[in-house]
């Protein structure tokens, strides 16, 4: 079951049919502790609607904050150690990879986040920019994982590598986050074999492609949520990106006009062009 936020209202999809979700704001939906069960009730009682096909799908975010976990895959640990070695920061990434406490950082708000087919941005003062394709959790105010979406944690590697204290500038800027295309309701946990695929197209040709399975994710998503909720409250619910396991080679940097396609089945495909 998938939930879409569109310019014509909110729709739930089940078995290729779409059902309008009765009058309720997106924020009220995101904050529901019983979101999967509530939407199962909508599907059971509503009639299918064809209106969805004329609608534009929007980023699935309202007043939720987006947070992110870092260095949760071995590949990310290695890439960060390499980029920060001249700044003497490489050791921190190795230590956080093995530590009990995960790295969690504030990533985005709705005004910095784009939806499917909208444009992500690279910073004008960065020389080395990459997308980070990440399984992203929808977390209820009480800390229940109620859904999954696809996230792109756009990052400026040169700024981050120059000094770990520059992390917020490398990660948080206008157009630095993409989410979508929908919320896959967490009726069952995603299988460990789930794959995250990244393709980057330049002038219509594949410039980079990579793939990682959730078996490589070192941290249990529920434990990441537990740390995020320590001493923090999220009255509207929140999103938590779970880190990247795909890092393009060091010679690669994004350019304007590149298309970034992230696929996580059964959630779907999130595609964005670089402005």
Q: Which of 36, 70, 116, 268 binds ligand DO4 (CB under 6 A)?
A: 70
Q: How many residues bind ligand DO4 (CB under 6 A)?
A: 12
Residue 68 found at the interface with ligand DO4 (CB under 6 A) = yes
Closest CA to 113 of 154, 74, 53: 154
> What is each CA distance from 153 to 9, 29, 225, 271, in whole angstroms?
26, 24, 18, 13
Piece of 38-46, 66-74, 184-192, 231-239 that binds ligand DO4 (CB under 6 A) = 66-74
**3 state SS of 203:** coil
Question: Phi and psi at residue 81, in whole multiples of 5°?
Answer: -60, -40
Helices 74-83 and 90-98, packing angle to 10 deg: 160
Judged by CB under 6 A, does residue 199 bind ligand DO4? no
Question: Which candidate, 185, 182, 144, places its Cα nearest to that of 40?
Answer: 185
| CB closer to ligand DO4 out of 38 and 92 | 92
- CA–CA separation, 67 and 92 (whole Å): 20
Contacts (CB under 6 A) with ligand DO4, residues 85-124: 103
Q: Name the one range near ligand DO4 by CB under 6 A: 33-41, 65-73, 136-144, 256-264.
A: 65-73
Count of Cβ atoms closer than 10 Å to residue 252 Cβ: 15
Residues 114 and 151: beta-carbon distance below 8 Å = no
- Residue 128 to residue 83: CA distance in whole angstroms: 10
One symbol per residue from 208 to 247: x for binding ligand DO4 (CB under 6 A), - otherwise; what is it? -----------------------------------xx---
Q: Which is nearer to Mg ion, 105 or 201 (CB)?
A: 105
Dig out the tokens for 53 from the structure. Answer: 């096909």
Rg for the chain (alpha carbons), in Å? Answer: 18
Selected from 244, 245, 258, 260, the binder of Mg ion by CB under 5 A is 244
The answer to whether residue 103 forms part of the interface with Mg ion (CB under 5 A) is no
Site string for Mg ion, 147-186 (x = CB under 5 A): ------x---------------------------------
Consecutive H or E run containing 104: strand 103-108
In the complex, what is the shortest distance from the CB of residue 188 to Mg ion, in angstroms, rounded to a whole number?
Answer: 25
CB of 76 to ligand DO4, least distance (A): 4
Determine if 76 is a binding residue for ligand DO4 (CB under 6 A). yes
C-alpha–C-alpha distance, residues 190 and 264, integer Å: 10
CB 206, min distance to ligand DO4, A? 22
Question: For Mg ion, how many residues bind (rule: CB under 5 A)?
Answer: 3
Residues at the site binding ligand DO4, with contacts judged by CB under 6 A: 68, 70-72, 76, 80, 103, 132, 153, 167, 243-244
Residues at the site binding Mg ion, with contacts judged by CB under 5 A: 132, 153, 244
């Amino acid at each position: 079951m998938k939930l879409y936020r569109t310019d014509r209202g909110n729709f739930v999809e089940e078995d290729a049919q779409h059902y309008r979700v009765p009058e309720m704001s997106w924020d009220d939906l995101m904050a529901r502790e019983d979101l999967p069960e509530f939407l199962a009730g909508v599907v059971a009682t509503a009639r299918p609607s064809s209106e969805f096909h004329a609608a534009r799908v929007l980023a699935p975010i309202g007043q939720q904050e987006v947070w992110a976990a870092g260095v949760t895959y071995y590949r990310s640990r290695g890439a960060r150690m390499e980029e920060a070695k001249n700044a003497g920061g490489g050791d921190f990434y190795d230590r956080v990879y093995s530590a009990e406490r995960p790295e969690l950082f504030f990533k985005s708000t709705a005004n910095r986040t784009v939806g499917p087919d909208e444009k992500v941005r690279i910073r004008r003062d960065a020389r080395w920019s990459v997308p980070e394709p990440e399984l992203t959790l929808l977390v209820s105010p009480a800390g229940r994982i109620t859904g999954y979406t696809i996230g792109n944690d756009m990052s400026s590697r040169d700024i981050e590598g120059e000094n770990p204290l520059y992390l917020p500038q490398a990660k948080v800027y206008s157009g630095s986050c993409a989410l979508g295309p929908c919320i896959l309701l967490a009726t069952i946990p995603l299988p460990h074999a789930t794959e995250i695929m990244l393709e980057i197209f330049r002038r219509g040709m594949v410039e980079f492609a990579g793939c990682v399975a959730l078996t490589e994710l070192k941290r249990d998503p529920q434990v990441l949520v537990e740390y995020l909720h320590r001493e923090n409250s999220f009255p509207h619910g929140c999103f938590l990106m779970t880190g990247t396991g795909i890092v393009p080679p060091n010679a690669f940097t994004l350019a304007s006009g590149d298309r970034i396609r992230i696929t996580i089945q059964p959630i779907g495909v999130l595609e964005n062009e670089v402005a």
